[in-house]
Amino acid sequence: MTNNVSLLPNQTKFRLDQIRLTQKAKSISFWGLGVLGLVLVIVFMVFFVSQNLLSRSEKKLKTAQADFRSLGEEVEINQETRYRLKLVSEIMTGRFNYGTAIKTALDFLPPETLVSGVEFEGKGVLAVRGCLDNYQLMDAFEKKMEDEASFGEGRVLKAELKNLMVKDNNWCFDLEVGVEI
């Protein structure tokens, strides 16, 4: 009897604690599920927003592509022109300009030179035959050949006197001129 009396409050206390714990667990579980539900809602919302953004981007892309297609003729002209200009550039860079080479070599000579012959000796090398009727001119020309700075914008790469003949103050020379190719 004594035992029963003494156990009753403990049992009641235990039961009360158990009920409290169950309620707490319930409450935590419901909170957890609530949070989970909220997360679920947020995730779905983000999903729909993302879908919306994607469809907007697609629309924007389609509009831009349609605009670009409307410029199709200009684009075609642009591409064809680029294609041809690229080829033109390659041809112009690759070809050897005989006229320019001869002009470069002749421009290197004093203007008073009487040119009697021009020959191509090799790649960009010309043999020029000419005469100057004045010692001072010949002297000045020889000095010009020694001074590489006078070659002018690098178009004349070298100039070498191969032969020189003088008769009655008439200075005839064979000159080898290397020009840029």
Residues 106-135 that bind another protein (CB under 8 A): 106, 117-123, 125-127
For residue 167, state whether it binds another protein (rule: CB under 8 A).
no
| CB distance 117 to 168 below 8 Å | no
- Neighbouring-strand partners of residue 159: 177
Considering the complex, state which of residue 79 and residue 169 has its C-beta at the smaller distance from another protein: 79
CA-wise closest residue to 148 among 139, 138, 158, 162? 158
Rounded to an integer, what distance in angstroms lies between the CA atom of residue 101 and that of residue 20? Answer: 107
- The window from 4-12, 73-81, 135-143, 170-178 that contacts another protein (CB under 8 A) reads 73-81
Among 86, 143, 158, 162, indicate the residue that binds another protein (CB under 8 A): 86
Nearest distance, CB of residue 64 and another protein, angstroms: 4
Nearest distance, CB of residue 35 and another protein, angstroms: 9
Query: Hey, is 179 helix, strand or coil?
Result: strand
Query: Hey, is 105 helix, strand or coil?
Result: helix
- The window from 1-9, 35-43, 146-154, 159-167 that contacts another protein (CB under 8 A) reads 35-43
- The window from 5-13, 24-32, 132-140, 149-157 that contacts another protein (CB under 8 A) reads 24-32
For residue 164, state whether it binds another protein (rule: CB under 8 A).
no
- Neighbouring-strand partners of residue 177: 126, 159
For residue 16, state whether it binds another protein (rule: CB under 8 A).
no
Considering the complex, state which of residue 45 and residue 166 has its C-beta at the smaller distance from another protein: 45
Considering the complex, state which of residue 77 and residue 140 has its C-beta at the smaller distance from another protein: 77
For residue 61, state whether it binds another protein (rule: CB under 8 A).
yes
Among 65, 150, 163, 169, indicate the residue that binds another protein (CB under 8 A): 65
| CB distance 119 to 98 below 8 Å | no
Rounded to an integer, what distance in angstroms lies between the CA atom of residue 42 and that of residue 54? Answer: 18
The position carrying tokens 């032969």 is 163
CA 34 to chain centre: 57
Lookup: tokens for 48: 């729909």
